[in-house]
Structure 1
Amino acid sequence: MLGHVKNVFSFINAPVDFEEVKLSHSTTDAEFDNAIAAVKRNHVALKGNVDTMFDEPGFKMRNLALRTELDLFANVVWVKSFAGVQTRHRDLDIVVIRENTEGEYRQLEHEVYLQTVGGLVESLKIITEKNSTRIARYAFDFAKRNGRKKITAVHKANIMKLSDGLFLECCHKVSEEYPDIEFEGMIVDNCSMQLVSRPHQFDVMVLPNLYGNIITSIGAGLIGGAGLVSGVNLGEKYAVFETGTRTTGHELVGKNVANPTALLLASSDMLRYLGLVPHADVIKNAVRRVIDDEKLSTPDLGGNASTTDFMEKLMSNLDVRQTFSTA
């Protein structure tokens, strides 16, 4: 997929050079350190999804390690409907903002052996006032910058009264600084039901790590699937752009049927972040023309177009009549 993105950047004369580094589940520690160093050098990255293995307890997943090493505390996914994709709910426009560094994802698990108990595993959920306040303030600042009117903090404070209770309390305190933005809390199980039944009630959502992962996937499903949603992991110094869900798509490798939309939109988001707004808009507008106007669909959307078909149509829709400055 990266090859397609590079071709598009070259075609629209985007002033971006690529440094490619390997990152996968099998990446060595030295290779992982090299990837971290590359992001620190460049301050920005476009990343494919890294596979997650289930058979190695105690191994820190590379996705998680990347986010914690670079303190990429905010994961932002924009769930926005495509007119050309037929779904139950139309015209959705929801932003999911996920705390990205703590919660259950700290991988603080251990097995306890007791004479009276056959097997016991403890898993620690870490919620801090500092990081909860930081993600809440990011969400409210995002809403203010983008003219959004409402923020929903998703939690399970009715059961996890201390951990999720702290997260909800921090969100509520921050909300008092933004009187023009409506604030509500919603329990995660009710939120999941409301999202699939009445999704238009949501505007911006802010969530702890695990709930954010789940709600993001539900949101992607509402507009057509994982192939349509881009995401970004943001910190104070660095930004890593990627597909919006953690689906790796192993089963699609080599078949020329993968939907390139998510990574193309992630590349557009990256260009916008770098201040290359005209270039970003050219890619985003072309993607939407292919899906909405041309009605071209890859198999994940119920169509039979190949990845090559999609990219050929995209290239013909890239509007390069405007001359871009490379200065």
Structure 2
Amino acid sequence: MDAVPQTPRITVTAIPGDGIGPEVMRATQRILAAAGARIDWEEAEAGAAAFRKGIATGCPQETLDSIERTGVALKGPLETALGYGEKSANVTLRKFFELYGNIRPVRELPGIRTPFSGRGIDLVIVRENVEDLYAGIEYLQTPSVAQCLKLMSEPGCERILRLAYALARAEGRTRLACSTKANIMKTTEGLMKRVFERIAPEYPDIAPSHLIIDNCAHQLVIAPEQFELIVTSNMNGDIISDLAAGLVGGLGIAPSSNVGDRVAMFEAVHGSAPQIAGKGLANPTALLLSAVMLLRHVGDFAAAERVEQAVFVTLQEGRNLTGDIAPKGEGAGTDAFTDQVIANLGRGSDVPSRAYHAIDMSKWTDRTWHRRADSRELVGLDVFIESEREPAALAAGLEAAAAGTAFALKMLSNRGTQVWPPTGGHSFRVDHFQCRFVLRGNRAGNYGPEIAELMRRVSAEHQWMHVEKLQRFDGADAFAKAQGES
């Protein structure tokens, strides 16, 4: 009888993390070794210990070098220590390695009873992982008005959508739902919807659908079994992936992966649980199932199924479960649970593993992505001004400043609602006005000197924060109108 070919040995960066992280990492490594996974571990540090050393990102260079070298990381929970550092170490890792795709499987597990048990929940949420509000570009515009830039790009949307389609094919899924807030944020969230509609015909074997994100959250609670795969933007995905995990038992059993073109990082999504750290009570299931995703990523499907089925058998039989998932008063410790999973290696549960295949991911080039418009026109300027004046008085001053320039004042808005000329409504105002100037005549050309002259005049009397060009690309307005603006 021919021997089953072994997968090559690989080296994986192990980041134990904080709190219960080292305990669940040790448990996971023990189980993978017993299952015959051919992994060598390279341990690295990130999180609170790094912050305490004065490393503002929470990620030492040695850790980044290790992940760059191995291309694969398994990470325990990290905390952002209070009083140390300014950035989340998790976000640092995602951005440094451009881990643009966050994959969160949500599956009903045997023995885990929830109000949704028996519904057949088996879906995946694919979340764009580096753009959107999580780009972290924030400003105080006035002492009392804050701004966060929501940046979504066409290639950023396209690559997460193509990853979702590739994952659907790899897992034999036939339906893909794209969920956005395109009904309100028509330019940013609408971009993802438009790209989805453009590329969907390239995947005729996958049935596409679109739904608004708040309806998606509603439908996840009403009928979660209707979904196979949901793809969405960063903020939306952060919220609904935790919601979905709650349907099947919570974050303590929720695995995830973060993938990019060169690196993949697998992590438990739960917190560091410092209240039980070092007591031998932690549940390693989330990190262990994340390691199963890692094994499939590197092509060791046999070891992945052995570990996954051993976990399923352990949960199904309910022996030596940790306290968070055991019947009240019957909880075992981390070591006992780990020993039980190891004892169940080679057994099969009543819940079959899916027939997984390698994900055929598109590779994106390193060049700066640019799409040239066939035509470009300048329509006007939005100048954002800090002022405590009444709208009519502010408008009078700005009209005087614009007199004799290429621009005329069209309207003022406050928090997105037009307040001048008055529309007859009632609006609470803060000291942050969007002041829209439009060109009086021809719109072709750069208008650099004319813009500079307008801003010189505005600056003489008003405190402004930033300026946005109002442009038209290929004949279509590339800016939103305020509520009430004609």
Q: Tell me the TM-score normalised to structure 2 length.
A: 0.61
Q: Identify which of 85, 100, 122 aligns with 1:93.
A: 122
CA distance in 2, matches of 1:142, 1:276: 17
For residue 150 of structure 1, the aligned residue among 145, 154, 175 is: 175
Q: Is 1:127 the equivalent of 2:152?
A: yes
- Residue aligning to 2:282: 258
Q: Tell me which residue corresponds to 1:325.
A: none
Give 1:101 deviation, angstroms.
Answer: 0.8
Q: Could you list the per-position Cα deviations for residues 26-51 of structure 1 after superposition, in whole angstroms to 9, with x for gaps in the alignment?
A: 52259522211111100101011222
Relative contact order higher in (CA < 8 Å, ≥ 6 apart): 1
- The correspondence for 2:74, drawn from 46, 57, 62, is 46
CA distance, structure 2, for counterparts of residue 45 and residue 167 of structure 1: 29
Matched, 1:200 2:225: yes
Corresponding residue to 2:43 among 20, 27, 40: 20
**Partner amino acid, structure 2, of 1:298:** T
Q: For residue 198 of structure 2, what is the aligned residue in structure 1?
A: 173
Alignment partner of 1:289 is 2:318: no
Cα distance between partner residues in 1 of 2:29 and 2:226: 38
Aligned-partner Cα distance in 2 for 1:45–1:168:
32
Which secondary structure state, in structure 2, belongs to the residue aligned with residue 60 of structure 1?
coil
Distance 1:252 1:198 in 2: 35
Deviates more, 1:269-278 or 1:128-137: 269-278
Deviation of 1:159 (Å): 1.1
Give 2:259's match in structure 1, choosing from 230, 234, 237.
234
Instruction: Give yes or no for contact 1:25–1:61 (8 Å, CA) kept in 2.
Output: no
- In 1, Cα distance between equivalents of 2:322 and 2:47: 26
Aligned partners of 1:96, 1:174: CA distance in 2, in Å? 19
Which residue is 2:380 aligned to? none
Partner of 1:5: 28
Aligned to 1:62: 89
Give the secondary structure class of the aligned counterpart of 1:51.
Answer: coil
Q: Do residues 164 (structure 1) and 193 (structure 2) align? A: no
Distance 1:171 1:251 in 2: 44
Residue 293 of structure 2 is matched in structure 1 by 269
Q: 2:280 and 2:263 mapped to 1: Cα distance?
A: 32
Matched, 1:311 2:335: no
3-state SS of paired residue (2:137): strand
- The alpha carbon displacement at 1:254 in A equals 2.1
Identity within the alignment, %: 32
Mapped to 2, the partners of 1:174 and 1:287 lie a distance apart of 38
Report runs of 4+ in structure 1 exceeding 6 Å deviation.
none
Q: Distance in 2 between matches of 1:11 and 1:83?
A: 22
Task: Assess if the C-alpha contact under 8 Å between 1:84 and 1:295 holds in 2.
Answer: no
The alignment partner of 2:305 has SS state of helix
Q: What is the letter of the counterpart of residue 91 of structure 2?
A: L
Q: Partners of 1:172 and 1:192 in 2: how far apart?
A: 21
Give the aligned length.
314
* TM superposition shift of 1:55: 6.9
1:233 maps to a residue whose letter is N
- Which residues of structure 1 form unaligned runs of 5+? 321-327
CA distance in 1, matches of 2:47, 2:298: 26
Of the structure 1 ranges 137-146 and 245-254, higher mean CA displacement relative to structure 2 is found in 245-254
Instruction: Give per-residue Cα distances to partners, 1:142-162, cap 9 Å, x unaligned.
Output: 212322111111111111111
Displacement of 1:7: 1.7
What secondary structure, in the 3-state scheme, does the structure 1 residue paired with 2:265 have? strand
Cα distance in 1, alignment partners of residues 169 and 26 from structure 2: 36
Q: Which runs of 5+ in 2 are unaligned?
A: 1-23, 348-486
In structure 2, the residue matched to 1:324 is none
2:132 is the counterpart of 1:109:
no
More helix by share: 1
Moved more, 217-226 or 7-16: 7-16
- Larger deviation, residues 222-231 vs 311-320: 311-320
Structure with max Cα Rg: 2
Q: TM-score, normalised by structure 1?
A: 0.90
Structure 1 residue aligned with 2:249, among 224, 233, 241? 224
Match of 1:279 in 2: 303
**More moved, 286-295 vs 75-84:** 286-295
CA offset digits 1:114-166 (Å, max 9, x no partner): xxxx5111111110001101111111122123221111111111111111011
The C-alpha deviation readout for 1:72-127, integer Å capped at 9, x for no partner, is: 111111111112111222321001101011111111111123xxxx5111111110
Q: How far did 1:54 drift?
A: 7.3
In the TM superposition, residue 13 of structure 1 has moved relative to its aligned partner by 3.3
* CA-CA distance at 1:269 after TM superposition: 1.7
Residue 8 to residue 145, structure 1, CA distance change in 2 (3 Å) = closer
Tell me the amino acid that sits aligned with residue 181 of structure 1.
I
Q: How many Å separate the matches in 2 of 1:54 and 1:215?
A: 27
Distance 2:334 2:150 in 1: 40
Matched residue type, 1:202:
F
CA distance in 2, matches of 1:208, 1:319: 39
